[in-house]
Each structure stands twice: as C-alpha cells, then as structure tokens.
Amino acid sequence: MRILIVTLGSRGDIQPYVALGKGLQAAGYAVKIATHRPFEAFVRRHGLDFAPVASDPREELLSQRGQAWVGSGQNPVRFFYRFYKLSVPYIEQMMRDVWKAAQDADAVIAAILGLAGLNAAEARRLPAIFAPVQPVLRTRFYPSVAAPECRKAAFICRRYNLLTHIAWEYAFWLPFHRLINRARRDIMGLPPYSWKPPFAHIARGPVLNGFSPLVVPPPPDWPPHVCTSGYWFLLEADTYTPPADLDAFLADGPPPVYIGFGSMPDPNPEQTANMVLDAVQRAGVRAVLARGWAGLQPHDVPDTVFLVDEVPHDWLFPRMAALVHHCGAGTTAAGLRAGVPTIGVPHFADQPFWARRIQALGVGPRPIPRQHLTTDRLTAALLHVVHNQTMRDAAAHLGEQIRAEDGVGRAVAYIREQFGAGRAFWQSAPTLATQGADA
C-alpha cells in the first residue's frame, strides 16, 4: 500500500510525520510525504519519497506579514486575520500540489495543516486518517489550543471550552471556504462544502493523535475510535556526531541550559539574544543558545555560552540542566522526553496551551509569554528551575514514562487496523447540496 502523508509548517511540524513515515515503511508500506520543498533533503535523507507543496515557511514567517502573525499572541481576531492574509496566496497552488501528489496513493494521512489531503482522498475514493499532533477535537475538558485557559467554576469552564472549539472552527473555516470550494471544484471535481466547518464531520472518521496521553489525557467526551498513540519521535542521537567544540564545551563544566525559539521570527534578534545572555549571566548558569530561524546573535558571546544552529534535540536536551523554548508541539515533546525542566516562552497559536500543560504537569514554572519576556523574569525562572529538586524529579519521572511509550508502533498498528478493515474511506463533509441532511 502506498501512503501519502500531507503535512505543512515548520521543521517541528514536519519531523513527527517523518518518524511516522519511517515506522510505516518498516512495516512494509511505501510512504511519500507531501510538504514544502525546503524539507525535501530532510525527508529523502530518511529514506522516504517526497512531493513538493507550495510556499517556503521560513521565508513567509520571516516576512513582515509572518512576523505580524506571530506577534498576534493570543488575540484571536488578529491571529486569524493575519493567518488569512499570509495563507491566501498559496491555497489554490497547495490544493493543486496535494492533488498531484495523491495520484499514485492508495491511502492518505493528513495533519492539521494538511487537510487538502482529505479533499484529495475524497475525490479519489481513498481511505484517509486525520492525524494532528495537537488536541484539536471538540471537548468540554480542554479549551481550543488557540484559546486562553478558563479559570472559573468547572460547569462554566466546560461550556467555555466547548465554545472555544466551535469558535475556532468557524474562525479557521469561514475566511477560506470560498477559496477551498473553488479549488475543490476546479482542481478535484468535487462539490462545494457548505458554510459549516467540516471539522466535526472529520472527527467522525479515523483520528490519530500524535501526542502522549500522559501529557494530554484523552477526555471522556472524545469518540471511542480516536487513538492517542503517544509521540512520534525521530531519534537521531545514535547516529549524530557533535562538533568537537560543542563536545568540549559540554565537558568543560556543569550542564548548561538550552535556550532557543525554533522557527519563531524576531524583529530584534540581537536585542533578544543580549537579553537572554544577561539573564544567563545573572543566574550564574552556562547556556547553549540556538540561533533559530530568527538568527539570534548576541553582540558579545562569553565563554559560558555556546551558539548552535541545528543539533538533534534527542541528543542535546538530555545533556541540559533546563530548557527555555517557545513550546512548539515538537520541541515540547522532545523536552518532555529528555526529562529536564522547561521554561515555556510561548509566542502564539498552540504554544500557550503546551506551556500551560508543562506547568500543570509540574515539570516547569509558570510560562512567560514572549511579549512579557524580560531579563528579570527569565533570571528568576532560571534560578527557580535549576534549584527546584521537586520539579527536576517530576521532569525526570515523566521523561522516563514517555521514553517507555511506543507512539510510532501504536500509530502504525492503528493505521493498519483502519486501512486494513476498509473503514477509513473518506466521506465528504456536508456540501451545499447535503447541508440539510447532516447538521
């Protein structure tokens, strides 16, 4: 069976699906990943086939529009408006690219930003699975990952949580539905969706969550067919050879803290880097500073700080005393697996949700939203996590539990069950012709 995996976004959005793809390939499936062209070498290096999809996420995030989007924080109006402005130029070409990639597929797996894959599966009558790495299904027990946390009485919060999911679905869907419907008609020969978001319908089909039930316990109101498999880790530590100077730095003193914000842009990268270094020096700790897509580069680099570009997280993080990062889904997973405390500095989107989960699990302090990050706050947080043995023990224990999970293995078993049983054939969400029959 030839499986097409459709996933879009940054490296952290792509990597779990490469891990899943390798697991499927080891189980005898032929796997192709449809994603942005800059990730072609990464995908092919792991032995998987590749199909290009429109846009360069790094170029877009570092653009003025991309930086404005990331700067939306948790303001939902700004977030969705700026996401719309950023995405509109690529919708049609993205649908066209995914449609082309699906022509030789026997089945489709789609990430949250790869929903064009479900449209292609519908048009070609292929089995399909929705496979997000964020908890995006409706529930009364968690808010939408894009919404603030409720701090009221439980009965109020359950209503609030459900409403945030519904509101997110409409905010995500309504700006795009005309463009998507036009592409469905012109490219895939499909009828247009109704104005109602298709996400509730999607949840009725096979859903495979690529995160740990230890981190986000499946709520009781999720459908029983939903599988929360555990994280899909791409483990590279055993084959990675670090640069000699990085090896020497790590051996030359106590474990440092890791500081990095991944793909997040920054309008003032030197200022941010200098602020971070001031906090490191005040806290009296050593640090590994990841430049990231923003290109963090302090004016002066003391010998207690080492700058890196790309180093496998599964190799680096276990060697750290603590982590400071943006709480993207992939970086959060790698940090939890490493078993060291995390200081969350969420920027936007689902990052505040993951930062809150880190705090709730007792493996990190209260998050510092990026717009509130200061030298004083980061210094205090560093001192707290480095000297808090209870938190360090909790992080180590959770890391041990997560390392014992076999997320990829469980996911492959679920995929085999769904595709093998013939239950996963993708059925259209309500279209304009059927909206009255499936409310």
For the residues 76-104, what does the mean pLDDT come to?
A: 91
Determine the pLDDT at residue 177: 92
Q: What is the pTM of this model?
A: 0.95
pLDDT at 2 over 60: yes
Report, at the CATH architecture level, how domain 2-231+406-421 is classified.
3-Layer(aba) Sandwich (3.40)
Q: What is the DSSP string of 273-336?
A: HHHHHHHHHHHT--EEEE-TTTT---SS--TTEEEES---HHHHGGG-SEEEE---HHHHHHHH
Contact 357, 340 (CB under 8 A): no
pLDDT digits (tens, 9 = 90+) for 57-72: 999 999 998 898 988 8
For the residues 9-27, what does the mean pLDDT come to?
A: 98
pLDDT digits (tens, 9 = 90+) for 194-243: 889 999 889 999 999 999 999 999 999 999 999 999 999 999 999 999 99
For the residues 409-433, what does the mean pLDDT come to?
A: 78
Bridge partners of 307, per DSSP, are 289
User: Domain map of the chain by residue range?
Assistant: 2-231+406-421, 241-403
pLDDT at 101 over 50: yes
* Residue, of 194 and 252, whose pLDDT is higher: 252
pLDDT at 433 over 80: no
Check for a shared fold between 2-231+406-421 and 241-403: yes
Determine the pLDDT at residue 24: 99
142 Cα distance to chain centroid: 17
Question: In the CATH scheme, what is the code of domain 241-403?
Answer: 3.40.50.2000
Provide the CB-side half-sphere exposure for 143 (13 A, CA).
Answer: 22
Determine the pLDDT at residue 436: 44
pLDDT at 347 over 60: yes
pLDDT at 81 over 90: no
E strand spans, 54-166: 107-110, 128-130
Q: Are strands 322-325 and 342-344 parallel, antiparallel or unpaired?
A: parallel
| Residue 153: φ, ψ to 5° | -60, 155
pLDDT digits (tens, 9 = 90+) for 132-158: 999 999 999 999 998 999 999 999 999
Distance CA 167, CA 126 (A): 30
Distance CA 288, CA 260 (A): 8
Q: Taking all residues of the chain, what is their mean pLDDT, rounded to a whole number?
A: 94
Contact 360, 353 (CB under 8 A): no
pLDDT at 272 over 60: yes
Determine the pLDDT at residue 427: 66
Distance CA 77, CA 34 (A): 30
Distance CA 362, CA 21 (A): 32
pLDDT at 432 over 90: no
Q: Any idea of the CA torsion for 313, 316, 318, 321, to the nearest 10 degrees?
A: -120
Residue 78's pLDDT band, with cuts at 50, 70 and 90, is: confident
Residue 438's pLDDT band, with cuts at 50, 70 and 90, is: very low
Which pair of structure tokens corresponds to residue 419?
């595709």
Residue 9's pLDDT band, with cuts at 50, 70 and 90, is: very high
Determine the pLDDT at residue 76: 75
Contact 322, 364 (CB under 8 A): no
* Residue, of 408 and 421, whose pLDDT is higher: 408
pLDDT at 431 over 90: no
pLDDT at 434 over 60: no
Determine the pLDDT at residue 28: 98
pLDDT at 74 over 80: no
Determine the pLDDT at residue 428: 62
